[in-house]
Amino acid sequence: MRADFRSGRYFRVLQERGMRFMRIFTVLSVFLLLLSPSLALSDEITLWLMAGECLPERAYSGADFTDFAARYPYAGIDIGQDQKRSMLVLMENRGILQGIEEFRQGFLRERGLDPGGGDLVIRVVFIGWHKDPLSRILNNAVKEGVDVVQIGSTWTAALAQRGVLKQITDVVKPVEREYINSALQGSRILGEDGYYAIPWVLDIRTWFYNRELFEEAGIKAESLKTLDDLERACEKFKANVKEKGVWFVGIPTSGDDYSTLHSAMTWIWGWGGNIVNGKGLPGIGDERAIEGMSRYVGLAVKGCAPMKGGDGKALRLVDIETDFLKGKYAMIFIGPWILDAVAGAERPDLFVNAGSMSGPAVSSGNIFTGGSQLALINSPRSPMEEEASKELMKFLSFRGNPGAGLSPRIDNFEALLKDPKLCTYPLTLIRQEFRSYPSIPEWGKVEGIMVGHVANVFKRVGEGEDRRDVITTEFGTARQEIARSMGSERLPQWGVIAIVVVIGGTLFFLLWRFLKRRPSRMEVVDAVRKFHRIKDVLHRAKVWKGCVKDDDEEVSRFRGLL
């Protein structure tokens, strides 16, 4: 054995055995890949989409669930609800899944691949608008390898600034003329030309009413032109409609629902208030914003609207929407996605779009207009996955999503103008009644701050505190938090200029001093000579150490040189 070891035969035997093992492993690998070609060839992209959570009165059988699972094996849902409700919500969103499957097959067919094969897998995970989805996308989308995500139009700038989104100007620029301008504003950072998202749906909040309840109360819809008219109509409703559990209007009050803020802004803007003014400074604590919010909360104080649901919890818009379709509210302020739910209602003729209502500050719009965008997450992808992700965004954007809102394309709005039942939406834009939040990086934090404080107002007033005092306190605190948020992320323009001037001046001064005191050639030569003399002295001192006395004349001479 020792002789074999020394001669190298031992190593040759090991090498031969290793090569034999590698051949067997390679054959097995090829065999497995032939059995499962999708594992070897498939590319995969993942989408995060916001789930529409309104559940109509519809029953599903076990066979329905089995068929759904077979059709859409790569669909999932994570909305923070129990399994039963989550599955029902997933079933209600099957329309968009069908569209994505059509895209997948068409994409493969155009490239000469089998549309029924597994060359491309598209995983869809529905996440909710609640439970702070912005933070979830910020913290987890890149880590979890998400490719395409649906985002609120007010989040684009914040996500782009943090590096979460990949710029897709090459996707949007060639088709930007096909979209209305208000939708494109949410696709980029304010003041910049590049696009980080493509519009998918447009959300214009308008009023819907129940025709039968209005007739019972003696209210004529055409008489509602302003928010003051709404308050007067509420008094008439309370006087004439005595049915228990039926309210004049539903308003969201939950701290985990962005609509809690969107609805309140109708009154805040309507009375001339602002969250952030044109100079980038918080304006939520001023008298106009407080007055608008006070009038809004007054609807609940006067008994026109509940502050909590039957379960004692704060109300989300999806809860209000569901109950509106059941006849429990005479009016709601909601986005155009309700059109899809109304069409599927037992009596769709009951629910009518009443358009918009202005406040005293009629010179500026007060109808919240936002929507959803589709964005490309800045995560690694193969060339085919990159291409498929971009093509899927364009496909979905052009197709629209009626269950989530209006198509943001110009052609769609021209068609709506010709429809008497739907013309209120384009007219809101044409009349400049709409209002959007600023597309700035700080808005993600600002929006979260405001949702929390508006919800706190309803909670505290519902517990018996004075309405005006609570609003003043909550908005004052919100103003301070927004100021800190804005200051920590963006200096005012004069501050940026001052910093640039100081840094530039310092660099110029240092350069000037360096050039002014630049040594001559002889000074450099002299310095080099002195260095070598010192080096020689140190060397000789080291050699002589212990051989001469401290008072030796030679040592003294070299000390003098140093």
Looking at the predicted structure, is the pLDDT value of residue 526 above 80?
no
Q: Measured between alpha carbons, how far apart are the two ends of the chain, in Å?
A: 70
In this predicted structure, what is the pLDDT of residue 501?
75
Looking at the predicted structure, is the pLDDT value of residue 306 above 90?
yes
Query: CA–CA separation, 175 vs 30, rounded Å?
Result: 45
Q: Name the helix (H) or strand (E) containing 12.
A: helix 9-35
- The predicted model gives 168-187 an average pLDDT of 94
In this predicted structure, what is the pLDDT of residue 236?
96
Q: 296: which strand partners?
A: none
429: number of Cβ within 10 Å: 19
Phi and psi angles of residue 413, each rounded to the nearest 5 degrees, phi first? -75, -30
Across 143-229, where does the E strand assignment appear? 148-152, 197-204, 206-210
- Binned at pLDDT 50, 70 and 90, residue 44 comes out as very high
Phi and psi angles of residue 367, each rounded to the nearest 5 degrees, phi first? -100, 115
Token pair of 61, please? 């059988």
In this predicted structure, what is the pLDDT of residue 503?
81
pTM over 0.85: no
Looking at the predicted structure, is the pLDDT value of residue 174 above 80?
yes
Query: CA–CA separation, 145 vs 162, rounded Å?
Result: 16
- Binned at pLDDT 50, 70 and 90, residue 129 comes out as confident
Q: Which of 133, 130, 149, 107 shows the shortest CA–CA distance to 385?
A: 107
In this predicted structure, what is the pLDDT of residue 488?
47
Q: Which of 440, 503, 10 shows the shortest CA–CA distance to 186?
A: 440
């992700």: which residue's tokens? 389
Token pair of 48, please? 């995060």
Say which residues have a Cβ less than 8 Å from residue 317's Cβ, sequence separation at least 6.
252, 257, 259, 260, 263, 334
In this predicted structure, what is the pLDDT of residue 494?
59
Say which residues have a Cβ less than 8 Å from residue 202's Cβ, sequence separation at least 6.
180, 182, 183, 336, 369, 371, 405, 406, 407, 408
Query: CA–CA separation, 22 vs 535, rounded Å?
Result: 63
pLDDT, one tens digit per residue, over 212-249 is 999 999 999 999 999 999 999 999 999 999 899 999 99
- The predicted model gives 164-172 an average pLDDT of 97
Looking at the predicted structure, is the pLDDT value of residue 450 above 90?
yes
- Binned at pLDDT 50, 70 and 90, residue 160 comes out as very high
Amino acid identity of residue 124, one-letter, is: V
In this predicted structure, what is the pLDDT of residue 402?
81
Say which residues have a Cβ less than 8 Å from residue 235's Cβ, sequence separation at least 6.
none
Query: CA–CA separation, 87 vs 81, rounded Å?
Result: 9
- The predicted model gives 354-370 an average pLDDT of 86
- Binned at pLDDT 50, 70 and 90, residue 520 comes out as low
CB 79 within 8 A of CB 126: yes
CB 280 within 8 A of CB 490: yes
Token pair of 8, please? 């190298």
